[in-house]
Structure 1
Amino acid sequence: MPYRYPVSQPCLEGRELEYVTETVGGGWISSQGPRVREFERAFAEYNGVAHGVACSSGTAALTLALRALGVGPGDEVIVPEFTMIACAWAVTYTGATPVFVDCGDDLDIDVSRIEEKITPRTKVIMPVHIYGRRCAMPAIMDIAFNYNLRVVEDSAEAHGVRPVGDIACFSLFANKIITAGEGGICLTDDPRLAAQMAHLRGMAFSSEHNFLHKKLAYNFRMTAMQAAVALAQVERLDDILAARREIERRYDLGLKDIPGITLMPPRDVLWMYDVRAERRGELCAFLAAEGIETRVFFKPMSRQPGYYDPGWPSLKANRFSEDGLYLPTYTSLTAADQEYVTGRIRAFYDLPQ
């Protein structure tokens, strides 16, 4: 049975249908359609970056970024311990090895622990802006400069956070701040990296022959219909971010005095509103019965079967994973909706409504 208050839902209140209808009517529905180029230009311009390379998903974006930077077998990439597994998978897809670094109190990668994980094989640092909190990028960029490393920002959860690394990768999945249903995009100021990512996403066709392929590549292309939706979303991004800031403010006020709830540090942009909760499992079950969907925090990378470390120490990522959750967070969430959600949480902890 669908939740009355899902954890996420897209907000398609702009020109999405108009642009898709125009795209279908024009006949250019593949990745060759002009809408893809329009979306790439619009999103790059919004972020103050020279080049955008649209693709099929955020995971594809990370893979393209690493391949364009020459990451391959024998290399290592610094990856947060607390993140979505797509980050580690993208590294593994290239044949390289992810090296995990614990999180800080804000859930982002602990910059003070990065240097101890750098080896002669390290090639890239991959900071992830968790739930919309910008990582300590100045410090990360300093480390990268000192060790001659490249930086790939995973900005899947942070539309509106301006990129500073070599490449920034965004997801356009349906639960993200802006969406195309599925899709992703890479942003960079380096024209050579942009050209290489565009080449790799489209099966690396050669100019010498229609069907000559000189390197292993991918079909990671975005369709024109996806780009039409994404373009309409970019046009409203400032309004979307403003609405989400108000959602964050209302949750802060509604939850600040509940003894069983620990608020997390503020976010630069709001993707999901995250908290730590006593008796998390019971709370999630109670809220589900009340029509409110929740999601628990990421499971740390070193506890995933594909990256399991039997000697894994007790880390912050593990502690957060055990009691963290996030609440319904979507652009059209109203004040009345949030009052109901926070009221049900108060009821669970036997507090006045």
Structure 2
Amino acid sequence: MAVKYPVSRPWLAGQELAYVTETINDGWISSQGPYVRRFEEEFARYNGIAHGVACSSGTTALTLALRALGVGPGDEVVVPEFTMIATAWAVTYTGATPVFVDCGDDLNIDVSRIEEKITSRTKVIMPVHIYGRRCDMDAVMNLAYEYNLRVVEDSAEAHGVRPVADIACYSLFANKIITSGEGGICLTDDPRLAEQMAHLRAMAFTKDHSFLHKKLAYNFRMTSMQAAVALAQTERLDEILAARREIEKRYDAGLADIPQITLMPARDVLWMYDLRAERREELREFLAAEGIETRLFFKPMSRQPGYFDPRWPSLNASRFSEDGFYLPTYTGLTEDDQAYIVGRVRAFYEAN
């Protein structure tokens, strides 16, 4: 059956078309267009942060953040074992080494196990707010202060979670809470870090644009067309978060009494509705036949070919990845849509 309920679908119900049309009509479609600065300012203001630096993706946002903090070969960055691989790749792109820490029951990095991984080469702790659950940032920041480390928040899945780290990085991919299709943004209160990230994203051009490049940099720029969409999305972020909160509540209510389903801890903001299930693969095949798309949990970093560690089966991250998945979670999902999805989950277990 064709997919009727995808895992994610962008919700473009605001000024997206109007802003993009204005951008095209004005001819300002590159990164020099005014919408880039407008988006940066509005997203930073929404989060109570001084500076925003828009870029081409969440992965490039993390890379810019690490580079701006001086991370490079010989350094180590503490990274969650349970995360999307882009978190680890950003570290590898700088030439540094990701050092993995297992997750707790909420899937976030187990902060109590970070200290044992800190060495003389550790430079940054990079927690991730998994599926919209806020990591214990007070504990992370206290640990960073004790060991004189910097902190980068991977907030790719957590728009609406207030940042507290040196730099917070967001993804604007089409499946995120808000989107620009492709894109990302870094937030910081430090003007020097903001300036450095902006410098690095634009090929490290000098102010006179003399084509003399004094350091290795990137073309990680966001276009004005993307920023126009991102700005329109940001303007409705409170509305989007509220709608998604209702989606979470309806799933919780509909699935809580199914014995074969294990609900996950509450989320601070809803990116994806994650859960654990007995006979997961059979359930997913059944749902797919009913037009309902699902997606697996992240694979542990130590199971990835580029970071393989034979000890991975003993990790919590491995245990959760064996039976975890998530259901369709997008802002336009209606109560009737969810009733159908929950009903199909019930039908599977009642018949089996």
Q: Same fold (TM over 0.5)?
A: yes
Q: Secondary structure at the match of 1:52?
A: strand
Give the superposition deviation at 1:207.
Answer: 2.9
Letter in 2 for 1:4: K
Residue aligning to 1:302: 302
Deviation at 1:225, TM superposition (A): 0.1
What is the SS of the residue equivalent to 2:153?
strand
* Counterpart in the other structure of 1:289: 289
Match of 2:349 in 1: 349
Q: Which amino acid aligns with 2:146?
A: N
CA distance in 2, matches of 1:29, 1:46: 24
2: CA distance between counterparts of 1:196 and 1:320?
38
Task: Provide the C-alpha distance between the structure 1 equivalents of 2:351 and 2:236, rounded to a whole number of angstroms.
Answer: 38
Distance 1:85 1:93 in 2: 12
User: How many angstroms does 1:210 deviate by?
Assistant: 1.7
1:211 aligns with 2:186: no
Corresponding residue of 2:256: 256
Post-superposition offset of 1:311: 3.4
CA contact (8 A) 2:313 2:319 kept: no
Following TM superposition, by how much is the alpha carbon of 1:12 offset from its aligned partner in structure 2, in angstroms?
0.2
Quote the residue 2:236 is aligned against. 236
Give CA deviations for 1:297-328 in whole Å, capped at 9, x if unaligned: 00000000000012335011000000000000
Cα offset for 1:282? 0.4
**Separation of aligned partners in 1, 2:51 and 2:113:** 32
Distance 1:2 1:265 in 2: 31
Q: 1:35-184 counterparts in 2 under 5 A?
A: 35-184=35-184
CA drift of 1:160 comes to 0.1
In structure 1, list runs of 5 or more residues that go unmatched: none
SS at match of 2:174: coil
Query: Considering only aligned residues, what root-mean-square deviation do their CA atoms show, in Å?
Result: 1.1
**Structure 2: distance between partners of 1:307 and 1:200:** 27
Displacement of 1:209 in angstroms is 5.1
SS of the residue corresponding to residue 275 of structure 1 reads: strand
In structure 2, C-alpha distance between the alignment counterparts of 1:246 and 1:276, rounded to whole Å: 20
SS, match of residue 210 in structure 1:
coil
Cα distance in 1 for residues equivalent to 2:242 and 2:149 = 35
- What is the percentage of aligned positions where both structures have the same residue? 81
- CA distance 1:209–1:342, shift in 2 (3 Å): closer
- Alignment match, 2:22: 22
- 2:8 maps to 8
Q: C-alpha separation between the residues in 2 aligned to 1:167 and 1:284?
A: 37
Instruction: Spell out, residue by residue over 1:41-87, the C-alpha distance to the aligned partner (whole angstroms, 9 max, x if none).
Output: 00000000000000000000000000000000000000000000000
Question: Which amino acid counterpart does residue 16 of structure 1 have in structure 2?
Answer: E
Cα distance in 2 between the residues matched to 1:312 and 1:328:
29
Distance (whole Å) between structure 1 residues aligned to residue 311 and residue 226 of structure 2: 44
Distance in 2 of aligned mates of 1:160 and 1:347: 35
Following superposition, the deviation at residue 104 of structure 1 comes to 0.3
Alpha-carbon distance in structure 1 between the residues aligned to 2:219 and 2:226: 15
Q: Give the secondary structure class of the aligned counterpart of 2:36.
A: helix
- Whichever residue aligns with residue 164 of structure 2, its letter is V
Find the counterpart in structure 1 of residue 338 from structure 2: 338
What is the rounded CA distance, in whole Å, between the counterparts of 1:229 and 1:327 in structure 2? 26
Q: In the comparison of the two structures, how many residue pairs are matched?
A: 352
Match for 1:71: what amino acid? Answer: V
Q: In the aligned structure 1, how far is the partner of 2:82 from the partner of 2:130?
A: 8
Gaps of 5+ in 2: none
Alpha carbons of structure 1 residues 282 and 117: separation in structure 2 relative to 1, 3 Å? same
2:250 and 2:209 map into 1 onto residues whose CA distance is 59
Q: C-alpha distance in 2, partners of 1:260/1:321?
A: 16
Distance of 2:207 and 2:252 partners within structure 1: 56
Please give the secondary structure, in 1, of the residue aligned with 2:247.
helix
Please list every run of at least 4 consecutive aligned residues from structure 1 whose deviation after the TM superposition is greater than 6 angstroms.
none
Q: Secondary structure at the match of 1:349?
A: helix
Residues 346 and 313 of structure 1: CA distance in aligned 2, closer, same or farther (over 3 Å)? closer
Q: Could you say which residue in structure 2 is the equivalent of 1:322? A: 322
- CA displacement 1:258-304 (0-9 Å, x = unmatched): 01100000000000000000000000000000000000100000000
With structure 2 as the length reference, what TM-score do the two structures score? 0.99
Quickly say closer, same or farther: Cα 1:19–1:311, change in 2 above 3 A.
same
Distance 2:211 2:42 in 1: 32
Distance 2:94 2:219 in 1: 15
- Where 1:213 maps in the other structure, the secondary structure is coil
Q: Which amino acid aligns with 2:50?
A: A
